Amino acid sequence: MDIQEFEKWGKYVVEWITQYYRNIETYPVRPNVSPKEILRKLPEEPPLFGEDFQKILNDFKDIIVPGITHWQHPRFFAYFPANTSFPSILGEFLTSAIAPQCMVWLTSPAATELEERVMDWLRQMIGISDEFVGVIQDTASTSTLVSILTAREKHSDYSINESGFDNVKFTVYCSREAHSSIEKAVKIAGIGRKNLRKIPVDDNYAMRVDLLEKQIEFDIQNGLVPLCVVGALGTTGSTAVDPLGEIGVVAKQYGLWYHIDGAMVGSALILPEFTQFREWVNSADTFVFNPHKWLFTNFDCSAYFVKDKEALLKTFEITPEYLKTDADEQVNNYRDWGIQLGRRFRALKLWFVIRTFGVEGLKTRLSSHIKWAKLLEEKIREDNRFEILAPVNFNTVCFRCKFEGKTDEQVEFLNKKLLDAINASGIAFFSHTKLNGKFTIRFSIGQTNTNWQHIYQTWQFIQSKTSEIIENVEKEEI
């Protein structure tokens, strides 16, 4: 493709994106495809000679788009938001055009310094202590791994990096509702899955601190070395918040490293009402949240904050002492702040987003999502065929249809049937979890272009599907 062709197709692609967003509500949120259907439409062998770009784009429209799950659809209510916005798309455009490597200051000074600046903007926006410094990681999973590795190295005086494990057996703590990325991190860090203690939760799905302390005592008595506790600021299942202040006290008392996973909910800290959470985060060593979930910045962009920068750098740096220069004292070389050497220029889209929306604009969006979740909760409670299964703390409503008079098994079966019917319609998309053994439908609100009408109409659709299922149940006497 030469530059004239690039100019032509560049305009075409922007036009396609514009039409995509104009018409996005006409797409089924979840595609109606079966496994391998797309794969079979793709040639088994790569083309030997270059193809016409028009033909490639036609295949994109005919084969790829019909197999896409539309995360930016305003009736996408599954999992969690992974929202984007027009300034973010344009930022990503420019990043891919400039295509710099942002591993050290010299390989792109502006990228490094913009990252330093926007991460401090973010820190101020969420109102946490200036003891924290921030860096962009690819995902919350990576951030949590980086945190646990830093804890491991600091605790062992950086000896495990040097000579591997000797006999020490570390333990790590999180709640039973904590995200699977913690288990993954514990496996990768060489600590061992069996040494992850999943502490039981209370009725609100938050960690029982009394049981955390008991478990730590028990492990110490058995010769194990408690290393780190991970608190959840918003579990993935129900957005439960662990008693993060109390966990901080326990962590301090037993000398544990303290990481807080706020992957989705952390964005809500930009709102003034969450003062308490800010104080709790300030008691942690590290904190992560994802602007790529609920802050209109397209994947990937995970904001990782750490207090002990020295410990982080000593864990990850690869520059031998004799190669250090005076400039290193003044600048950040982000290759030493995490796992990757090569790094994308992710600060640009975040900068575009923050400046285009403004902090107040971002706050307005998030508080609307939270307000609508509460309103939806009220609507669900008004229909006594349904029940709410967890506190609505932020933007996620956990509910199910009661199907009164049916056995637990039948209730699960029928709720699954309801969920499948809604998802198959293409009108909206939901995912489920299990809370206290109960099959739970999650209504997660956070897409950039969702408004109350999308939510309310979808709720009415759920009600009518439920009526259909109840009628059929009565007919077939399930």
Ligand X SMILES: *Cc1c(COP(=O)(O)O)cnc(C)c1O
Binding site for ligand X (CB under 6 A): 80, 139-141, 179, 181, 232, 234-236, 261, 263-264, 290, 302
Comparing C-alpha atoms, which of 92, 387, 123 is closest to residue 281? 123
Closest CB to ligand X among residues 155, 179: 179
Instruction: List phi, psi (to 5°) of 352.
Output: -60, -45
Closest CB to ligand X among residues 139, 286: 139
Euclidean distance between CA atoms 301 and 276, whole angstroms: 25
User: Which tokens is 151 given?
Assistant: 């804890």
Closest CB to ligand X among residues 83, 333: 83
Give the DSSP H/E element, type plus range, for residue 231.
strand 225-232
What is the rounded radius of gyration, in angstroms, for the C-alpha atoms of the chain? 24
Contact (CB, 8 A) for 152 and 164: no
Closest CB to ligand X among residues 108, 447: 447
Smallest separation (angstroms) from ligand X to the CB of 293 = 6
Smallest separation (angstroms) from ligand X to the CB of 394 = 11
Comparing C-alpha atoms, which of 468, 364, 362, 446 is closest to residue 397? 446
Smallest separation (angstroms) from ligand X to the CB of 288 = 8
Closest CB to ligand X among residues 78, 411: 78
Smallest separation (angstroms) from ligand X to the CB of 227 = 19
Closest CB to ligand X among residues 147, 181: 181
Contact (CB, 8 A) for 382 and 388: no
Smallest separation (angstroms) from ligand X to the CB of 142 = 7
User: Which tokens is 345 given?
Assistant: 């220029």
Q: Which residues contact 305 (CB under 8 A, 6 or more apart)?
A: 119, 123, 128, 132, 133, 134, 286, 287, 288
Comparing C-alpha atoms, which of 60, 122, 158 is closest to residue 346? 122
First to last CA, the chain: 61
Euclidean distance between CA atoms 435 and 441, whole angstroms: 10
Closest CB to ligand X among residues 230, 256: 230
Closest CB to ligand X among residues 240, 250: 240
Comparing C-alpha atoms, which of 434, 380, 384, 385 is closest to residue 412? 434
Comparing C-alpha atoms, which of 378, 389, 388, 400 is closest to residue 462? 400
Smallest separation (angstroms) from ligand X to the CB of 15 = 31
Smallest separation (angstroms) from ligand X to the CB of 464 = 31
Comparing C-alpha atoms, which of 69, 437, 381 is closest to residue 237? 437
Closest CB to ligand X among residues 155, 344: 344
Query: Running DSSP on this structure, what letter comes out for residue 127?
Result: T
Q: Mapping DSSP to helix (H, G, I), strand (E, B) and coil, where does residue 77 land?
A: coil
Smallest separation (angstroms) from ligand X to the CB of 191 = 18
Contact (CB, 8 A) for 119 and 136: yes
Smallest separation (angstroms) from ligand X to the CB of 433 = 11
Closest CB to ligand X among residues 179, 465: 179
Closest CB to ligand X among residues 235, 450: 235
Comparing C-alpha atoms, which of 461, 460, 464, 430 is closest to residue 445? 430
Q: Is the peptide bond preceding residue 300 cis, with omega within 30 degrees of 0? A: yes
Euclidean distance between CA atoms 259 and 319, whole angstroms: 27
Length of the chain: 478
Angle value at C-alpha 140, between 158 and 197, nearest 5 degrees: 65
Smallest separation (angstroms) from ligand X to the CB of 117 = 23
Smallest separation (angstroms) from ligand X to the CB of 80 = 6
